[in-house]
Amino acid sequence: MSDISLYLDEDVRVLLAEVLRNRGYTVSHVLEVGRNGKSDSEQLAYAVKHKMAILTHNIKDYVVLSKSYAESGKRHFGIIVSDQIPFSELLRRTLKFLSSDTGELVKNKLIWLQDYK
């Protein structure tokens, strides 16, 4: 089982959190923890505080945040970005990612879920 905890951004379906938890993964969704409407930087800060990698479809903004964190020496537990894709494909790629990486390998990295086709 993966040691990566995931925090799903608002633009990711809540269903993904439910399915992943049913498979034994540690996953929270923005809506489940009452953080909808917060800025991207606030969502990333929350993920960092709770030692979670964040998964989002908001590629443009999170690429900028990833660069900002790197340039300022701030640490995070992984930023995973994905295009909007059908749910079944998102689930498959996310499971492949979780089964092939560890928390240590994704720290401070920007990960493209398309690399897990």
The continuous run of DSSP H or E covering 1 comes out as: none
pLDDT score of 14: 97
CATH number corresponding to 6-116: 3.40.50
Residue-wise DSSP of 27-38: EEETTTTT-TT-
Q: Which residues of 54-86 are buried (b: 16+ CB within 10 A; e: fewer)?
A: bbbbbbebbeebbeebeeeeeebbbbbbbeeee
pLDDT score of 75: 96
Q: What is the pLDDT of residues 19-50, one digit of tens each?
A: 999 999 999 999 999 999 999 999 999 999 99
Q: What is the pLDDT of residues 44-102, one digit of tens each?
A: 999 999 999 999 999 999 999 999 999 999 999 999 999 999 999 999 999 999 999 88
- Which ranges of 23-113 would DSSP assign to H, the alpha helix? 40-49, 59-72, 87-100, 103-106
Q: How far is CA 35 from the centre of its chain?
A: 15
Q: Helix, strand, coil: what percent of the chain each, to 5? A: 45, 15, 40
Q: Where are the domains of the chain?
A: 6-116
Task: Decide: helix, strand or coil at residue 109.
Answer: coil
Q: What pTM was computed for the model? A: 0.94
